[in-house]
């Protein structure tokens, strides 16, 4: 098994990695790039703890062979928020006590961000659907749904002010 070279954009910066073909994007993020905010919970695409944004879409990085990200753009939890400040989604999660053990939290942030980037007018029902591929065993999802909805309102507000 020969190593392959893969070039991609991670959190807005280009990167080149050497990896075995049987490594997953998740392995490279964690073991090679030490971006450990992306978690491994099930490795079969069911729990969503490893969710990242790949070319604008939420995906489970445990199911992405590393070769597939050549030339593509990946955003992880480490790339969320700007200038050392938390993203409004993260702020809202804190505000609403929408986390407990925190292991699933980065995955939820990424799913929520993918949704709100595309649809800032998301309803609570759309939010529930957008996070339905992220399992949380602590919170019962209630405070998470409220938090993401509040973040959406805030983002809309900020957007309106900009205009």
Partner 1 sequence: MNQVKEENYNVIRRSKPRIDGVEKVSGRALYAADLYMEGMLYAGVLRSPYSSARVTRINTDKAKAIEGVEAVVTFADLRKTKSWAGYMYLTDRIRYAGDCVAMVAAKSKSLVEDALEAIEVEYEELPGVYTIDDALEEGAPLVHEEYEKNIFKDSLFHIRKGDIEKGFEQADVILEREYRTQYIEHSYIEPEAVLAYMDPNSGLMTVQASAQNPFFTRRYVSDILGIPLNKVRMIQAILGGTFGGKEEGIGLVTARAAYLSYQTKRPVKFVFSREDSFLESSKRHPFRLRYKIGATKEGKIVAFEGEQVDNCGAYNNQTQFMNWRANVHSSGPYEIENIKTDTYGVFTNNIHSGAMRGYSSPSLIFGQEQLIEELAEELGMDEVELRRINCLKDGSVTATGIPVEYVILQDVMDDTVERTDYIRKHAEYKQQPDTRFRKGIGLAICYRGCGLGAESPDASGCMMIVNEDGSVSIASGLAENGQGLKTAYAQIAAEALGVHYEDIQFPQLDSFAIADSGMTVASRGTVMGAQSVRKAGEKLKKVMIKNALELRSFSLEGTDLTYEQLTEEDIDLKDAVFFLKAHPEITVPFTSVTGACIWTGKQMAAYEWFMPEDLPQDHETGQGKAFPTFAYGCVIAEVEVDMRTGYVDLKKVTASHDVGRAINPALIKGQIYGGIVMGQGYGIMEDVAPKNGKVKNRNFDSYILPTSMDAPEMDVQIFESGDPAGTYGAKSIGEPATEAVAAAIANAVYNATGRRIRENPCDLETVLLGKKLR
Partner 2 sequence: MFKYDYYRAETPDEVCEVLARYQGKARIVAGGTDIMVQIREKDKRWKELECLLDLSFLEDELRYIREEGDQIHIGALTTHTDLERSEVIKRWIPFLGKAASTVGSPQIRNRGTIGGSICNASPAADPLTPLIALDAWTVIRGRDGERVVTLKDFYTGQGKVGLKEDEFVKEFTVRKLPEGTVTGFAKLGRRKALAISRLNVSAALRLDEEGRIDFARIAPGCIFSTPDRVETAENILIGRKPSEELWREAGKAVSEEMIRRTGIRWSTEYKQPAVEAIVEDALIECCGSQFA
Position 81 contacts partner 1 (CB under 8 A) = yes
Which of 17, 28, 35, 62 contacts partner 2 by CB under 8 A?
Answer: 62
**Which contiguous run of DSSP H or E holds residue 26?**
helix 25-27
Of residues 143-162, those binding partner 1 (CB under 8 A)? 143-145
Which of 38, 51, 60, 61 contacts partner 1 by CB under 8 A?
Answer: 38
Position 2 contacts partner 2 (CB under 8 A) = yes
Cα–Cα dist 93/109, whole Å: 9
Please, are residues 73 and 106 in contact by the beta-carbon 8 Å criterion? no
* Sign of the torsion angle spanned by Cα atoms 40, 10, 94, 57: negative
CB of 58 to partner 2, least distance (A): 5
Which of 17, 35, 64, 74 contacts partner 2 by CB under 8 A?
Answer: 64
CB of 141 to partner 2, least distance (A): 11
Please, are residues 27 and 67 in contact by the beta-carbon 8 Å criterion? no
State phi, psi for 109 to the nearest 5 degrees: -60, -40
Contacts of 161 (CB under 8 A, 6+ apart): none
Contacts to partner 1 by CB under 8 A: 20, 22, 30-31, 34, 36-44, 46-47, 49, 76-78, 80-81, 86, 90, 93-106, 109, 128-129, 131-145
């Amino acid at each position: 098994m020969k190593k392959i070279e893969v070039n991609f954009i991670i959190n807005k910066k280009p990167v080149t990695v050497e990896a075995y073909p049987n490594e997953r994007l998740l392995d490279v993020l964690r073991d090679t790039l030490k971006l450990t905010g992306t978690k491994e919970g099930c490795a079969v695409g069911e729990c969503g703890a490893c969710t990242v944004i790949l070319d604008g879409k939420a995906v489970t990085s445990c199911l992405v062979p590393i070769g597939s990200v050549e030339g593509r753009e990946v955003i992880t939890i480490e790339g969320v928020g700007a200038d050392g400040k938390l993203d409004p989604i993260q702020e809202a999660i804190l505000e609403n006590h929408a986390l407990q053990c925190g292991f699933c939290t980065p995955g939820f942030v990424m799913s929520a961000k993918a949704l709100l980037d595309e649809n800032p007018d998301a309803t609570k029902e759309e939010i529930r659907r957008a996070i339905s591929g992220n399992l949380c065993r602590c919170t019962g999802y209630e405070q998470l749904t409220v938090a993401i909805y509040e973040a959406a309102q805030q983002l809309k507000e900020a957007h309106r002010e900009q205009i």
